[in-house]
Amino acid sequence: MILTLQPISAIIIEMYSVKEASKTLGVNERHVRRLLASGEIRGKKLGHDWVVLDLSYKRKRKPKRVKK
């Protein structure tokens, strides 16, 4: 009997650092960590650092305006 191996489809998982996620979402890094801890955005804690797996988050408020 001869076994042939079929290629496994590549699974692509987008992962972001807290810094990248904060820039993309337009919020502070500390706020991203709070969202991860509360489960509002998906992520995984690896040691002391978080890895963001999903950036589907809608802000509840508009960003503050910066005075000129």
CB of 36 within 8 A of CB of 52? yes
Q: Is the full-model pTM beyond 0.75?
A: no
Q: What is the pLDDT of residues 10-64, one digit of tens each?
A: 677 789 999 999 999 888 999 999 999 999 999 999 999 999 998 888 777 666 6
- For the cut 70, the answer to whether the pLDDT of residue 9 exceeds it is no
- CA 8 from chain centre, in angstroms, equals 25
> Which H or E run contains 49?
strand 49-52
Greater pLDDT, 50 or 67? 50
